[in-house]
Amino acid sequence: MNENLSLFDAKESKKIERKRRMKDFLAAGSTYLFSSFSLLALIAILVFVFSKGWNTLSAAFIVGDYNATLTSVTTNQAITETTNTFTYQAKDGEYFAENWGLAFTDSTTTEGNPIVRLSYVDPYSNTTSWIDSNTGEAFRPKVGEMITVVTLCDSPAENEIKIVSGNKGAENMAANFRKYNFVKNMTANVGGGGIRGSLISTLWMILFTLLFALPLGIGGAIYLGVYAKNNVITRTLRNAIDMISGIPSIIFGLVGGIVFLPIAAGSGSSGNLITGSLTMACMILPIIIKSTEESIRAIPLRQSQASLALGASQTQTVFKIILPNALPGILTSALLGVGRVIGESAALVYTSGTAIKDVIIPTQGSATLAVHIWTLMSGETMNYGASCAVSILILFVILLLSLTVKLLSLSVQKKQKGK
């Protein structure tokens, strides 16, 4: 009795209270701290990606070719000597070669490498004799064209030759153009570094993956949700499906490479979009099966009972009642699968190739957006700018997808409440 009382002793209880508060503070504080870390991580990712990639992101970047169109220019040197002097009010950062009527500015390629661009071409600029050496037609330089390299000389006799590279800066380029009155040849560069090819390749990949995975997944879900009896085989199957979703994607890539590539090789091709999407289909299969099965189970039993009691067969019930009702769930699973396909790189590196292409043929290997990042970053110089720009695109699409999934599930809830 006395011992019990001592628990409520004023001094003691104050001490206990203080101790408890301390513990509560530590426990609560650490949960706040840890939970804020995930928010911090998200913010850090967004800040990093946007700060690095935002400047690179442009319409030209999204719809542009990855491989630049190179134009070689040779000149008819007899008439290329500049005699005029042009005037142009050069803006800040522009360097004007008065003898040519051309202004240059420092710029970067779509991928983010330094390059010199033409920022002004005088309408009468002395470039009329430039000839595109590929087509043999006259070549008029245009504003925005990038100059990769140019060979200048002092006279048609070529006593003194100067090769100027486009990555040495606009000031250097303008100074050399001022100094020399003859252009021997020049390589101009239009576009390049764009991601249109990878974008299209991603779309193909999504299409093919869903084409393979949806019938298999929906079929599996119908079996598990409608036909399967609750026995050892069914339980094993369920566990297997759960385990598939836990397998690291690189292992899918390896196995896909081993299993699907020989099949593709048989048809005379190495890893391509089809083999890649087969691998992706295996990866997203559990997502589709689980989500579809859940939505099948959510359909009130009385619906299928009503159908069966009307003399419909089990199959008719599945196709006329269960599947239409499960459609939102199937759509949700497809969208989740699409998110997975867009973001996947490891499984595709071995199965659909890392080569970035501009012309996409499904039976040839080409990089998707995520693999595009992998390729950009695995070069000698890591290209953070372009990679982050691609990342922004991927994040944006994923955000859109998850919003759509939220809206879908909301509408399903509403429908089930009969609104």
Partner 1 sequence: MDSLKSEQNESMQTIFAIRHLNLYYGKKQALHDINVDLYEHCVTALIGPSGCGKSTFLRCLNRMNDLIDDCKIDGQILYHGTDVQSVNPILLRTKVGMVFQQPNPFPMSIYDNICYGPRCQGVRNRTHLNELVERSLREAALWDEVKDRLKTNGMALSGGQQQRLCIARALAMSPEVLLMDEPTSALDPISTKKIEELVMSLKERYTIIIVTHNLQQAARIADYTSFFLLGDLVETNKTETLFSRPSNEKTERYITGRFG
For partner 1, the closer of residues 78 and 301 by Cβ is 301
Least distance between partner 1 and beta carbon 308 (Å): 7
Least distance between partner 1 and beta carbon 418 (Å): 6
Q: How many residues bind partner 1 (CB under 8 A)?
A: 20
Least distance between partner 1 and beta carbon 378 (Å): 52
Q: Spell out where 292-355 has E strands.
A: none
The answer to the question of residue 418 lying near partner 1 (CB under 8 A) is: yes
What's the CA dihedral at 398, 400, 404, 410 to 10 degrees? 100
| Residues in region 298-357 near partner 1 by CB under 8 A | 300, 302-303, 305-313, 316, 320-321, 325
Least distance between partner 1 and beta carbon 220 (Å): 20
Instruction: Provide the mask over 239-278, with x wherever binding to partner 1 is found by CB under 8 A and - wherever it is not.
Output: ----------------------------------------
Which of 85, 135, 137, 229 binds partner 1 (CB under 8 A)? It is: 229
| Tokens describing residue 65 | 């070719």
- Alpha-carbon span 58 to 54, nearest angstrom: 8
- Alpha-carbon span 363 to 275, nearest angstrom: 9
- Alpha-carbon span 192 to 38, nearest angstrom: 37
For partner 1, the closer of residues 236 and 313 by Cβ is 313
The count of other CB atoms within 10 Å of the CB of residue 107 is: 17
DSSP bridge pairs for 286 = none
- Alpha-carbon span 416 to 419, nearest angstrom: 8
The answer to the question of residue 295 lying near partner 1 (CB under 8 A) is: no
The answer to the question of residue 417 lying near partner 1 (CB under 8 A) is: no
Which of 87, 230, 268, 380 binds partner 1 (CB under 8 A)? It is: 230
The answer to the question of residue 411 lying near partner 1 (CB under 8 A) is: no
The answer to the question of residue 415 lying near partner 1 (CB under 8 A) is: yes
For partner 1, the closer of residues 14 and 320 by Cβ is 320
Least distance between partner 1 and beta carbon 229 (Å): 6
- The 3 state secondary structure assigned to 26-67 is HHHHHHHHHHHHHHHHHHHHHHHHHHHHCCCCCHHHHHCCCC
Residue type, 132: D
Enumerate residues 6+ apart whose C-beta is below 8 A from 391. Answer: 49, 53, 373
- Alpha-carbon span 389 to 17, nearest angstrom: 54
Least distance between partner 1 and beta carbon 315 (Å): 10
Q: Which residue, 105, 196, 113, is CA-closest to 144?
A: 105
Least distance between partner 1 and beta carbon 373 (Å): 44
Least distance between partner 1 and beta carbon 419 (Å): 10
Residue 223 carries which DSSP code?
I
Q: Please report, as ranges, the residues that interact with partner 1 according to CB under 8 A.
A: 229-230, 300, 302-303, 305-313, 316, 320-321, 325, 415, 418
